[in-house]
Amino acid sequence: MSSDNGESPAAKVMDEAIDLAIEERSPYPERAAFIDADEAMAGREIKRAADAGLSVVLVAADGSTSVLAPVASEQSAT
- Residue 76 is predicted with a pLDDT of 42
- Residue 3 is predicted with a pLDDT of 52
Tell me the sheet residues that pair with 65: 59
Q: What is the pLDDT along the chain (78 residues), one digit of tens a residue?
A: 345 567 899 999 999 999 999 999 999 998 999 999 999 999 999 999 999 999 999 999 999 999 999 876 655 444
Provide CB contacts within 8 A for 59, sequence distance 6+.
8, 9, 10, 12, 13, 34, 35, 36, 37, 65
Distance CA 77, CA 46 (A): 24
In a 13 Å sphere around the CA of 17, the CA atoms on its Cβ side amount to: 20
